[in-house]
Amino acid sequence: MKRIFLIIAFIFSICTYMNASTPQQQIDSIMRQRYGINAPGGGIMILKGDSVIFENYYGIADMTTGEPISEKTRFNIASISKQFTVVGALRLIEEGKLALDTPIAPYFPHYKATFWNDIKLWHLMSHTSGLPDTRDRSNRNACVYANDAISMSYFPSVTTLNFSPGECYDYKNPTFILIANIIEQLEGKQFIDYQQQHIFNPIGMLSTSYFNPDYTPANTAHGYINTQAETSASTDSDTAGKTIEIKDNKSIWQEYDYGEETFFATRPDGGIYSTIRDLRLWEKALKEYRIISKEMLSTAYTPHITVTGSTWSTYQNRPNTSYGLGWFIDNTPGYPTKVYHTGDNGGFQAYLGKFPQKDVTVIILENRNDNDRWSLVKTIDEILLNAGIL
């Protein structure tokens, strides 16, 4: 019944936007229907070239304080963080310190299985290493507070691969911690310090940083789940967060980020907190080749493995989908090629997509996970296409 209600609500929102006169009004109408009033929400920015053609913010960043979501709100961008890790390594390739075909075994001599000699750097970047994720999940509370070192500690015990490296797509988070570790070994500094020095600071991403369990910067949103929605994640009593009942729509929201959800403290695979405006700076710097060269960025945006039909992973396993190095590539008929990534962590949902041929970028960050993201993205793409923006 709840799912039927959500579908009806979404159809209603579509009908509403169709009656609006401009693409901006159409999108704004959809977003307002999506979040309601006095509840967790999100922000959106759409760029055509360097011009912002739509930007708005909806809902509450912190349900305890009532702080609204604004252009200053820092969201966990979850797996969008992976492209930052990849770009950090691609910089070292351009400096001649690494290569895409660099075997990773020499960096981890205590990993004794022979298959480590077959895994190359690009396999880690493209989710094609064949490495399983066999992290011990028997103690949920331990997983909730697991950091990078703990999350990669299972690798020496891996005895077999799921498939030969480069053969299949299998979305895996811990392999990006290996990339970060290689960067640390080559640069002699902490991964997060390297990223701050060579990526965040040079392009002015002053509101962007990696998760720190000991410090929460101002304007940081909490992630929330709607405990009455079918799509919400399950929680255990030993990690339950604060619950806030919203009287006007009878929803019950529960904090669901660090302290409630597992592996929230790992950083290379999903630990960045950022704002929509900082991500605009990121996209501009990429487009202007200020971080890596045009050739290297093209390599990252080139399909390296087919995602569609993978028998190993369901994540973004959709028609016309491939994976490059840190980015998905979508070649839906009737649309220009899209390069994008999604992110899901606790109560956060994130989307950062672009159509390079049309110089159009869409950024959506949310601090709730009860609404279908892909339906929203498809609708926005359709609006932009029909308006001649794509």
pLDDT for 19 equals 55
Is there a domain that residue 36 lies in?
Answer: no
Summarize pLDDT for 98-141 with one digit per residue, the tens.
Answer: 999 999 999 999 999 999 999 999 999 999 999 999 999 999 99
Q: What is the mean pLDDT of residues 243-255?
A: 74
pLDDT for 290 equals 97
Q: Does position 244 have pLDDT exceeding 80, yes or no?
A: no
Summarize pLDDT for 298-332 with one digit per residue, the tens.
Answer: 999 999 999 999 999 999 999 999 999 999 999 99
pLDDT band at residue 92 using 50, 70 and 90 as cut-offs? very high
Q: Does position 14 have pLDDT exceeding 90, yes or no?
A: no
Q: Does position 334 have pLDDT exceeding 60, yes or no?
A: yes
pLDDT for 21 equals 87
Q: Does position 3 have pLDDT exceeding 70, yes or no?
A: no
Is there a domain that residue 293 lies in?
Answer: no
Is there a domain that residue 196 lies in?
Answer: yes
pLDDT band at residue 228 using 50, 70 and 90 as cut-offs? confident
Q: Is the distance from CB of 209 to CB of 354 less than 8 angstroms?
A: no
pLDDT for 232 equals 42
Which has the higher per-residue pLDDT, 228 or 382? Answer: 382
Summarize pLDDT for 27-42 with one digit per residue, the tens.
Answer: 999 999 999 889 999 9
Residue 202 Ramachandran class (φ > 0 left, ψ -120 to 50 alpha, else beta)? alpha
Q: What is the mean pLDDT of residues 242-260?
A: 80
Helix axes 2-18, 373-386, angle to 10 degrees: 20
Summarize pLDDT for 351-372 with one digit per residue, the tens.
Answer: 999 999 999 999 999 999 999 9
Is there a domain that residue 244 lies in?
Answer: no
Q: Does position 9 have pLDDT exceeding 80, yes or no?
A: no
Is there a domain that residue 390 lies in?
Answer: no
Give me 116's structure tokens. 């480590």
What is the number of structural domains in the chain?
Answer: 1
Question: Does the CA dihedral 93-326-141-159 come out positive or negative?
Answer: negative
Is there a domain that residue 30 lies in?
Answer: no
pLDDT for 251 equals 83
340 Cβ neighbours under 8 A, 6+ residues apart: 327, 328, 330, 351, 352, 353, 354
Q: For every residue of the chain, which 3-state class applies, written as one string?
A: CHHHHHHHHHHHHHHHHHCCCCHHHHHHHHHHHHHCCCCECEEEEEEECCEEEEEEEECEEECCCCEECCCCCEEECHHHHHHHHHHHHHHHHHCCCCCCCCECHHHCCCCCCHHHHHCEHHHHHCCCCCCCCCCCCCCHHHHHCCCHHHHCCCHHHCCCCCCCCCCCCCCCCCHHHHHHHHHHHHHCCCHHHHHHHHHHCCCCCCCCEECCCCCCCCCECCCEEECCCCCCCCCCHHHCCCEEEECCCCEEEEECCCCCCCCCCCCCCCCEEECHHHHHHHHHHHHCCCCCCHHHHHHHHCCCEECCCCCCCCCCCCCCEEECCCCEEECCCCCCCEEEEEEEECCEEEEEEEECCCCEEEEEEECECCCCHHHHHHHHHHHHHHCCCC
Q: Does position 6 have pLDDT exceeding 50, yes or no?
A: no
CATH number of the domain at 178, please: 3.40.710.10
Question: What is the maximal distance between C-alpha atoms in the chain?
Answer: 63
pLDDT band at residue 246 using 50, 70 and 90 as cut-offs? low
CA distances to 17, 72, 73 from 57, in Å: 17, 10, 9
> Residue 129 sits in which domain range?
83-200
Is there a domain that residue 101 lies in?
Answer: yes
pLDDT for 227 equals 86
| Mean pLDDT for the chain overall | 92
Is there a domain that residue 17 lies in?
Answer: no
Residue type, 149: A
